[in-house]
Amino acid sequence: MKQSENNPPRVVLGFFRWYCNPALLEEIEGDLTERFHYYSERYRQNKAKWLFTKEVLLLFRPTIIGNIYHLTNNSSIMTVQNKRLMLILAAVPTILLIPLIAMQFSNGVDWKILDFVIMGILLLGTGLLCELVLRKVKSTKGRIILCGAVLFSFLLIWAELAVGIFGTPFAGH
């Protein structure tokens, strides 16, 4: 087996290293790596990688992240804009965790993989559009109007996909 095949997915591990409280990083990364090797021995590589990814997503919680200051203080030259962008990127998986966790406790929430993908794209798109507005528009009034329009559009698209208020081909039921 090639060495690279027997290692945890680098992107996922990088995401974990980014959000994890530095004080907890060594012990939890060690635990994650050990769990990955355990999964690799029991399952096929793809399943082991998926289980590793699931563990990393389930670790994304306040106790493990700690003070969010470390998320945005990786570089002394990081601007306010970049800090805000990092927070937007961190907020998307955090929000997606809500239905993921709710599904474990209730049958009322039943999201498929596609639902998570679509909601992720919607949230990321909304966040990035708001960030674009905040970077390009300087007046407070303009910012409020444009960001409000972006958020309103997000809510309309979400409502259409969820319950179908306009009856488009993408309408949900």
Locate all alpha helices (DSSP H) within 43-166, ordered by sequence. 45-59, 62-65, 69-72, 80-105, 113-136, 140-163
Question: Minimum distance from CB of 129 to another protein (Å)?
Answer: 31
Question: Contact with another protein (CB under 8 A): which of 9, 18, 35, 115?
Answer: 35
> End-to-end distance of the chain based on CA atoms, in angstroms?
48
- x/- map, 49-78, another protein, by CB under 8 A: -----xx--xxxx-xx--------------
| Residue (33 or 153) nearer to another protein, CB | 33
Question: Between the CA of residue 37 and those of 8, 45, 93, what are the distances in Å?
Answer: 8, 10, 25
Question: Contact with another protein (CB under 8 A): which of 9, 33, 53, 68?
Answer: 33
CB 93 within 8 A of CB 57: yes
Question: Minimum distance from CB of 92 to another protein (Å)?
Answer: 18
Question: Between the CA of residue 4 and those of 1, 20, 45, what are the distances in Å?
Answer: 8, 23, 11
Question: Minimum distance from CB of 36 to another protein (Å)?
Answer: 9
Which stretches of the chain bind another protein, using CB under 8 A? 24, 26-35, 37-38, 54-55, 58-61, 63-64
